[in-house]
Amino acid sequence: MRLMFIGDIVGRAGRRALLEHLPALRARYDLDFVIVNGENAAGGFGITEAICDEVLNAGADCITLGNHAFDQKEALVFIERQPRLLRPANYPAGTPGRGANLFENAKGQRILVMNVMGRIFMDAMDDPFASVERELAACPLGLGCDAFVIDMHAETTSEKMALGHFVDSRASLVVGTHTHVPTADYQVLPGGTAYQSDAGMTGDFDSVIGMDKEEPLRRFTRKIPGGRFEPAEGKATLCGLAVEIDDTTGLALKVAPVRIGGRLSAALPEFWG
């Protein structure tokens, strides 16, 4: 199975990059499944139904979220009728939407996607490790699903790494989101789970993690807010991760970074030609 995960879309620039590159990536690499984190897609804060539809129509099979999941109030409603949009599973009981879902691709392969949020330097949430364990018990890799992907939306690398090792040999991929900077630690863990601490953002890197520089600089240097954060509007880099998954075991065989456009150096998965 050829799977691609694309990191946090930030604002209009990120959406433009996704719409420009994702259809070509699907065609060039004959991708079997694509997951996109869209929690910053609407002006940097949350996602609207129109944007959700736009991302899905561009070639995403599933959209994950994070701490900005419900910044756009309409998400509280439309997430209930959109099974391809996932919010963190460890939100409190009764939160609208779903934190995991089992998808079937065109080949009939079953892909379980789960979104969880970390607890270190983040809002108080239920235990993400316990949430993942419950999902594994209900739908184990190789029995209930052919691939299991976890988007770990968290601040610290240690919490993300710990989750990667926690599910090593039991999940196909654990990939971090939220910090918007692509890390160089993409690897296949000893038990066969692909891992990267952060996939990076799909946004303008001439910025402060996707936001126009003026307001963050004012707050850091003067400690006085001058207005709201606005997404940077320059040419964006699409950042993500490509994973080759064994169709027999559901574990990762190969993993490589994806970076296209914008200011960062280009990277594409050579093992797919």
In whole angstroms, give the CA distance from residue 187 to residue 152: 16
Tokens 């330097």 sit on residue: 121
Output the CA–CA distances (angstroms, integers) from residue 129 to 6, 97, 149, in the order listed: 23, 20, 14
- Determine whether 165 is an active site residue: no
Contact 211, 219 (CB under 8 A): no
In whole angstroms, give the CA distance from residue 137 to residue 120: 25
In whole angstroms, give the CA distance from residue 223 to residue 217: 9
Tokens 């030609």 sit on residue: 273
Output the CA–CA distances (angstroms, integers) from residue 150 to 43, 92, 124, 175, 183, in the order listed: 25, 19, 20, 6, 17
Strand 147-153 vs strand 110-117: parallel, antiparallel, or unpaired?
Answer: parallel
User: Which backbone phi and psi does 64 adopt, to 5 degrees?
Assistant: -105, 165
Contact 268, 258 (CB under 8 A): yes
Active site residue ranges: 68
